[in-house]
Amino acid sequence: MATGLVSKMLGVLSVLLIAVSAGRLDEVARRGGFTAQTLKDWELRSRGLDERTTSQRRYYNDKTKDYFVESLPEIPQSFLTEMYSGLMPIDENDPSRALFFVFQPRIGDPVDEIVIWMNGGPGCSSLEGFLQETGYINWGWGQYAPEINAYGWPTLSNVLWVEQPVGTGFSIGTPNATNEEDIASDFVKFFKNFEVRASNTHSNDFS
């Protein structure tokens, strides 16, 4: 009798689990990971890439096109704003040492300043800051889908997230810095190379 009762309970729990899972997946499919209010707010703030020609991308040029982000997992194309990411060499003559970055121009009217975000440590991945703190995407622990952060820093300024020093996150190279001066020197070289690529005729540059 006890065995039969347990079997029935397991059967009921299985049905409930399937129903909950299906409902959860339906909800994800229905709203794509976004709340209705977030969708409404973000539609007022952003212009999708599918609506923006190459000439309207403020920092798109021959030097940045290889860094251009065309898609992100779980993010509807209409909500993906102009963004660049990849490995930027510290020394143009030594591609084996490079810092990984994410750059997002301001969402809205252009501005000529830039905010640089580097997670602490040093050595902590700045993608944590991009995905869970200051970026326009929130995808934290326990979230089954990303959400738009309507208060992300790109709503106010151009933002550059950098994984530094060498050896942090997706940055590459042999970690041979012995002090903060070495780390700062690498970053200055990286930023000069970034600045050269990002300067263009469509918007103010950072020089």
For the stretch 179-204, pLDDT in tens is 999 999 999 999 999 999 988 644 44
Asked if pLDDT for residue 34 goes beyond 60, the answer is no
Q: How crowded is residue 79: how many other Cβ atoms within 10 Å of its Cβ? A: 22
pLDDT at residue 120, as a whole number: 77
Q: Are 88 and 99 in contact (CB under 8 A)?
A: yes
Q: Are 163 and 170 in contact (CB under 8 A)?
A: yes
pTM over 0.85: no
Q: Percent of the chain scored above 70 by pLDDT?
A: 69
Q: Which residues pair with 88 in a beta bridge?
A: 99
Upper half-sphere CA count for residue 112 (Cβ side, 13 Å): 9
Tokens of 104: 């997002």
Q: Report pLDDT digits (tens) over 67-95.
A: 999 998 878 777 788 999 999 999 998 98
